[in-house]
Structure 1
Amino acid sequence: TALALLRHPAIPSGRLMAELVFRTHCPAPKSLHLNRFLPPTAVRVLLDESGANLTSKISFTGLGKNLQKVNKSLARDLIKSRHDQLRELLTQGEGEAERELPSIVEAAETRMRAQLDAELARLTALAEHNPAVRSEELEALQQERQALSSAIENTRLRLDSVRVIITVDPNAS
């Protein structure tokens, strides 16, 4: 968790914002090489104190350019004073991020099926003309496809980082 101050003339002073970054997490055996189809993916959610989702309005880099760091003791005090509100934003942010997960999972499943179905079709066609292609190879590929599909379905999001942002008067020093 980090806390930063945002000085912006268009945003009133004293507003609270929470930027949450979630990462996909998929517990799968390394032997499946799941990253081929589902690389680690970040889902960013930016909420203001009213719960409005500002993710599409304010980019990560655009926000970062306008932030100032805060010393640790002040950060601790500010976070303590807004603890309940932050909890609500974390819960809401998790829900917002979870809405992104199905499309990430679907894209990974599509990539996996496209590649492995093509490989399976190629091996099946080859097996009809070449006795060197064993049925065990086809079964192994089908099992790999099933294991990958199951692993991809079990993908979850895990909170990776939180940045608490407090807006301040741009004219204050």
Structure 2
Amino acid sequence: MEKDIKQKNNSFIKILKIVENIIFYVFMAIMIVLIFFLIQSRMTGDVPSIGSYRMYIVESGSMTPTIKVGSLVIVKEVDANDIDSGDVITYRGLEDTVVTHRVVKIKKDDEISFITKGDANETKDPLPLNESHLIGKSIFWVPYIGVLMGFIRTKTGFITLIVVPLILLIIIQFYSRYKRKKGNDV
């Protein structure tokens, strides 16, 4: 009976170590992706992107409750003809600001223009949006992740959220390997 208990404990410990390794590698993959985006945006001076997808952080409440302040918005570059009324789009506003609002009307003359409105706003945006200002269609947003991305862009955030956990995880991995090796030597 004692042997069965030891086998169950050993099996549990092996499963625990496998789960620990999986968590470690998933965390490392996420950190590598975040570091890639951070380095990319710092080197290019542009927003983080992969192919035709760009990432923006929502800084105002004009789209609440649909998109909360601090959300990360994933925007796919699309042709103006692919935008429908009701779509959420991201575009360059006045003074090169980036705005994410909902399309309430589309005008098709010689050029396509959009009438937009923030979900939280009572009135439509005052000027029609010319298609040349369109960045793309907002296809996905994750609440509060933008706050984390914004914090990671700072030196303090980079050190706090990437370097320190990375060092801790490496130390934990080396310590657990050292402990296993020492246990096998006994």
TM-score band w.r.t. shorter chain: under 0.3
TM-score normalised to structure 1 length: 0.25
TM-score normalised to structure 2 length: 0.24
Q: Which has the higher contact order (CA 8 A, sep 6+)?
A: 1
